[in-house]
Structure 1
Amino acid sequence: MIADDFIYYNAIGLYCPYGDFYLDPQQPVKNAVVSHAHGDHAVSGNSDVYCTEATYRFMQIRYGKNAGKVFHLVAYHQIFTLGKVNITLISAGHMLGSAQVLMEYNGVKYLYTGDYKLQADATCAPYKFVQADVLITESTFANPETQHPDPVAEVQKMADMKINILLGAYGLGKSQRLIRMINDIIPRKKILVHHRIMPLNAVYEQMGFPLGKYELYSRKLMKNQDEYVYIVPPFTFDSYFKAVGVKRLFASGWKNLQVNEHDTLMLSDHVDWNDILQVIEQTNPQQIWTLHGDGRYLAAHFSNRIFVKMLA
């Protein structure tokens, strides 16, 4: 029987009382199962952290000695137990090291997706479909009107731009995906990288995900008009709002983060509406629990067929 209180939100985050652990807690806790290393999912200071090796490495870069007291590095498909819950990490396809969390208690399987995507990405393990009784899915873009464009076609937009490009992107995950895609799709472009992105790139390379050619940003190089693409994190991109002699683009699935309606680069690392429906079909759950977005469209779509509960 599905336990309605298997996980629920409290003041700290998403808590599982049957295993006494939190999934991606928002404040430091005793037991944290961390799906991936983005800051809205991985906070510093937890006592015991259960995550993939890549997530651990990224947290070490970002938080240093404050990353966490004890890290338990878990490979994909390796089972471990907290309290009365058996837990397995499954690749989520969101970024390097990202994981779904499959939890089994009293013969019932609960699958927490974390952030995930189905689009092809040469810089991380692909999303793996697994079946579960309860699908606990992020619903960032769970709207029938949201369909992500072809990522290759989006990157190809830069091919005909005969001006240096200032490309804003999240430093972890998105930047590395862009570096690899630009090298694969428009190899003549010369990629420059902000210094804060460089150590993150090194983890990708060390873990067997080569990104191709790129080099550390140099102001001297950028003064030349020579097919340069300078990839910078959001705070730097925003500070260059008056930059001249460059085409400004920001890579995101959110329309409101685009520079304007003409200069767009719609590249998302989350599932869109059709992707979510595909995951639900493959997972074959009895119930769907939604979080990190609006679950109303899923509830209406499945109506009397599958019970949908909105956790947040």
Structure 2
Amino acid sequence: MTIKDDFLSFNTHGLYCKYGDFYLDPKEPVQTAVISHAHADHAISGNNQVYCTEATAAFMQLRYGKNAAKVFNIAAYNNSFIVGDVQITFISAGHMLGSAQVLMEYESVRYLYTGDYKLQPDATCEPIEWVKTDVLITESTFADPEVLHPDPVAEIQKLNDIKINILLGAYGLGKSQRLIQMINEHAPQKKILVHHRIMPINAIYEKYGYSPGVYQMYSRRLMKNQEEYVYIVPPFTFDSYINAKGVKRLFASGWKNLQVNKNDTLFISDHVDWNDILQAVEHTKPTQIWTLHGNGTHLKKHFGDDIFVKILN
């Protein structure tokens, strides 16, 4: 059993597996794409053959219409299929509804591409699952010992102390549904309003049995009243309300630069932090770690000679 150092490599189209002749979450349209989840930085339009979960296909079709892909090949979690000479299995990633880690097996070696993943409980998506692997190909967005995400429940409970209406910025797909569910559970006196562009996304969540809970579509008439409304809006709308009066502006994110100010923060991330990545390594037992989408140098230093760490990007 030999790990192939060239099993994955980057080219102008994105992350390529030459042994299966496919791309993982390509950046430009390709002949064959394996898509981990439906966020726009991982799932673009215009690919010919797309392999993904059913929910991911539904979100892509909502966003891109006829240009989503020429052919969707739908696979359920833990059901293997073959692309080229590589056996592929989707493993739940816990990042958002339909998100998948991609387990690739070639010549008896297992390569696990995490895509974006999350360990924290989330009632609006399938929980993360673990499988053993030889190579863990992990996203490393927050792979820094100094980046530790706070408890999301404690963060959402901050809303209980805000008695005026709240304008809550959040990404429409995944984050907004998680926030609706958490507010319903942990700040139940709040009345949730959602932007009209989030409504069809919620409908897909409900179709697949992951209802985020109680909410209604925004109307200007409602927000004129101070009744502890929380109006959830996508980033472009949030930015347009920079001078909004009579509301508290918050943006839910794991990124410090997206917080409105030091006093009004809502650190809720859908990515793994440093401790989460260490847990992932413990669960998957790799002999090598390859890092993507961030800084892998901290992991390289942490594991030293114990586990070989390669920085792909």
The reply to whether residue 311 of structure 1 matches residue 302 of structure 2 is no
Distance in 1 between residues matched to 2:226 and 2:141, nearest whole Å: 38
Q: Runs of at least 4 residues of structure 1 off by over 4 A?
A: none
Hey, what does 2:96 align to over in structure 1? 95
- Equivalent positions of 1:155-174 (< 5 A) are 155-174=156-175
Q: Gaps (5+ residues) in structure 2?
A: none
TM-aligned CA deviation for residue 188 of structure 1: 1.2
The reply to whether residue 139 of structure 1 matches residue 140 of structure 2 is yes
TM-aligned CA deviation for residue 303 of structure 1: 0.5
- Equivalent positions of 1:1-312 (< 5 A) are 1-312=2-313
Distance in 1 between residues matched to 2:231 and 2:299, nearest whole Å: 39
Distance in 1 between residues matched to 2:214 and 2:304, nearest whole Å: 49
Deviations for 1:55-104, whole angstroms, at most 9, x for unmatched residues?
00000110001000000011000100011100000000000000000000
Under a length normalisation based on structure 1, what TM-score does the superposition of the two structures give? 1.00
Q: Gaps (5+ residues) in structure 1?
A: none
TM-aligned CA deviation for residue 186 of structure 1: 1.1
What's the RMSD between the two structures over aligned residues? 0.4
Partner amino acid, structure 2, of 1:70:
V
* Identical amino acids, percent of aligned pairs: 72
Partner amino acid, structure 2, of 1:309:
K
How many residues are treated as equivalent by the alignment?
Answer: 312
Q: SS of the counterpart of 1:90?
A: strand
Deviations for 1:148-196, whole angstroms, at most 9, x for unmatched residues?
0000000000011110000000000000000000001111110000000
Partner amino acid, structure 1, of 2:187:
I
Partner amino acid, structure 2, of 1:235:
F
Distance in 1 between residues matched to 2:180 and 2:50, nearest whole Å: 30
Deviations for 1:14-47, whole angstroms, at most 9, x for unmatched residues?
0000000000000110100000000000000100
Q: SS of the counterpart of 2:275?
A: helix
Partner amino acid, structure 1, of 2:45:
S
Q: SS of the counterpart of 1:48?
A: strand
Distance in 1 between residues matched to 2:53 and 2:84, nearest whole Å: 20
Deviations for 1:226-270, whole angstroms, at most 9, x for unmatched residues?
010000000000010000100000000001110000000000000
Distance in 2 between residues matched to 1:186 and 1:178, nearest whole Å: 11
Distance in 1 between residues matched to 2:38 and 2:259, nearest whole Å: 24
Q: SS of the counterpart of 1:202?
A: helix
TM-aligned CA deviation for residue 11 of structure 1: 0.8
Distance in 2 between residues matched to 1:240 and 1:100, nearest whole Å: 37
Deviations for 1:263-282, whole angstroms, at most 9, x for unmatched residues?
00000000000000000011
Q: SS of the counterpart of 1:265?
A: coil
Q: SS of the counterpart of 1:308?
A: strand
TM-aligned CA deviation for residue 134 of structure 1: 0.1
Partner amino acid, structure 2, of 1:211:
P
